[in-house]
Amino acid sequence: MAAADGFTIAAMHAQEQAENGVSNRSVLCEHHEDYAVLDEDEVELVSVKHRELSSGSWTWATLADDGGLAHLFARWGVLGKTVQCRMVTNAELGTGEPSQLREACQKLRLGSSPLDCVQEVRAFAIELIRHADKANLPNEWRVPEKTPKAKIYPSDELLEEVAAFLAILQFDTRRPQRDDIAAAAPVKYAEPLLEELGLSTNGDASKAAWAAVLGMFRQRMRGRGKVPLGELAALIGRFKRETPADGLARKLRRRHVTASDVIAAVNTAVLAPQAYVSVDLTLAATRLAAKLHHGGCSPTTILTAESLAARWRRAMHERMPDVPGSSVAFADAEMHLRVAASAAAEAAASASGDSLYGSAMWQRLSSRDLTPALKDLPLSGDSLLALGGICDLASRCQVWFGPEFDVELAQTLLRASRPKARAGVEEGVG
């Protein structure tokens, strides 16, 4: 997601340059899942956490540990409690305590008293104590291991710090799924910058721009090793001219991507997009590919389905943010598409008499007029676009081309069956 934020700061940089000529935005890469967004003396620490669809929303039990909030709290403390923090993820926060925590963060950010969020502050403080090492808590705030939650009593000092941390914490939970990034990112992140720069978005321009910037971020994030808490503080301090060490300056440059770097990469990419976008005729080990392959479909069908799913995602990302009520219309369309897929699956399974009915199901869907499902959408739909919607639903485990099976294992086997697996999008980079 660092690359996505790279496009965002570059677009803001271009706009500010056009207005007053003053801008100094950049991204400081750490290692895979962590980076910092820098704007003059303002610093925002970002922690990226991918969550598989099968795991569902973030639960209270997973936020501090797997969700990285305890680690983010530790970094905030080491950096003098003067930075902003953001958790970026592809999964929503669950109902109950997770959603209440986000609401508390919003209230505290807007100036509410910690007394208005006592329950949430205390509950999160208890989670930090339960993960004291990751939160880097001092000994006086810790309790013996295996102490029941009901017997953990956070100190007033810890509660005060937690309230301050929650006031600068934001949750960014609307990022694309891994399988969707390749299709969604050029439209969602690259095209706004191209438009801001007055560049064409036709053809492969946006795909080339995304590939170029993603490659630059991968280079900055790979092979640099994990940055200790103290060193990250020193790196950011160097950016703010607080530490003049030459060694840190060299490390900073290797990890630093400025808005100007992003714009330069984009300008180069759009001049020769063919150098950045190649035709990939190999099967990517996506959930959609695994399901179709398991259902007995041919490689040609799988590649076609991936292309149709990408077309559907592009339509969603282009239309949903701008047209009032479009999100409801898309949800209604998806319900009708699920009904159509269900009918095709039942008919194919009955006619086939075995578990390999994916091919028969595909034939029924591809020969059927699916356009009525799109009648309320704010776009001119066709049957292939609707079929792409069904393919996208399959990639999100809402449609199956056969009996249920272990999709993640099938993806692993699909990767192993190829001479060279196509690289996926690392956490944090895309």
What are 182-199's pLDDT values in tens digits?
778 898 899 999 999 999
User: Which residues of 53-168 form beta strands (DSSP E)?
Assistant: 84-89
Dist CA 253 CA 379 (whole Å):
45
| Type and span of the H or E element at 25 | strand 25-29
| Type and span of the H or E element at 231 | helix 229-239
Q: Which amino acid is at 124?
A: F
Collapsed DSSP state (helix, strand, coil) of residue 382? coil
262 CB neighbour count, 10 Å cutoff: 29
Closest C-alpha among 89, 179, 94, 90 to residue 396: 179
Q: Which residue has the higher pLDDT, 221 or 354?
A: 221
* 376 has a pLDDT exceeding 90: no
pLDDT reported for residue 227: 54
pLDDT reported for residue 6: 94
What are 216-237's pLDDT values in tens digits?
888 887 645 555 555 566 666 6
pLDDT (average), residues 322-350: 83
Greatest mean pLDDT among 24-28, 75-79, 123-127, 408-412: 123-127
Distance from CA of residue 216 to its chain's centroid?
18
CA distances to 47, 52, 408, 430 from 89, in Å: 8, 10, 20, 12
pLDDT reported for residue 250: 53
Dist CA 29 CA 418 (whole Å):
32
Q: Is the dihedral of CA 89, 6, 428, 125 positive or negative?
A: negative
Burial class (CB in 10 A: 0-12, 13-18, 19+), 172: middle
pLDDT reported for residue 407: 83
Contact 345, 400 (CB under 8 A): yes
User: Which residues of 136-253 form beta strands (DSSP E)?
Assistant: 169-172
| Type and span of the H or E element at 109 | helix 97-109
CA distances to 8, 88, 165, 193, 373 from 213, in Å: 12, 19, 32, 12, 37
pLDDT reported for residue 204: 85
Greatest mean pLDDT among 122-126, 278-282, 424-428: 122-126
Helix axes 97-109, 156-166, angle to 10 degrees: 80
